[in-house]
Amino acid sequence: MSTPGRLEHQLDVTYRYFSHHIRTCTSVVVAMLDVVAEGLTDDSMTAMIMESGYLLDIYDRGMSVCFNHILGKTHETEIEQVDIGHLLELYIKNAVSEETPAEIIHNIEGMHLRCDAYSFKSIFQILCQEGLASAKKQLRINRSGSTLSISPDNGFNEVQQIFEIFAEVLKKSGIIMEFDKTSITLRFTDESIDS
């Protein structure tokens, strides 16, 4: 059980992190709708609205996962098999702008994981988004045995305080998340992983 000081800190970190991202994505949609209203749209602008909408959904789910964890709310955990390669492809297709300067290089096709799917899917995509935001030219997502690493070429801009909360959430699924300025690693139990 968290002490009141720690609880307040974790709530504040979560609120600030998600508020920033949700409000930024909403700003893109609001500003784009003004452009649409003036009939100045093209495919890239429509894509930006869709990408921001997809990210809004991920951040909303991530926020709910974190608040539920911090407040100790029990939810019915659905242990499902997640195709991580497919999840990454979905993220790239729906959330990554064609204008993003960095490219995602990975070797996780066919990697499957049994876990609390709702939490994992949200957090994994948010970590990819953090990695991509930091990467200059390349974001590497590599599997080595039962470990997956997310490494932007120049390291992360910042070791976000929210990462500690993500690590606590993932730990409940038996996933060990470790992070520093250069990379984030997710270590899975051998029996949960399959490819």
Binding site residues, another protein, CB under 8 A: 16, 19-24, 26-32, 34-35, 40, 45, 48, 51-52, 97, 99-100, 133-134, 157-158
Q: Using the minimum distance from each CB to another protein, give the nearer residue, 84 or 184.
A: 184
Provide the minimum distance between the beta carbon of 132 and another protein in the complex, in angstroms, as a whole number.
10
Over its C-alpha atoms, the chain yields an Rg (Å, rounded) of 17
Find, among 47, 9, 24, the residue nearest to 133 by Cα. 24
Shortest distance, position 99 Cβ to another protein, whole Å: 6
Closer residue to another protein in complex, CB, 40/176: 40
Residue 22 or 92 having the CB closest to another protein: 22
8 Å CB contact between 127 and 184: yes
At closest approach, how far in Å is the CB of 40 from another protein? 8
Burial class for 83, CB neighbours closer than 10 Å (0-12, 13-18, 19+):
middle
Please state the closest distance from residue 143 (CB atom) to another protein, in A.
Answer: 27
For the sheet containing 138-144, what is the strand order?
103-106, 138-144, 147-152, 184-187, 176-179
Q: Is 152:134 a contact under the CB 8 Å cutoff?
A: yes
Residue 32 or 104: which CB sits closer to another protein? 32
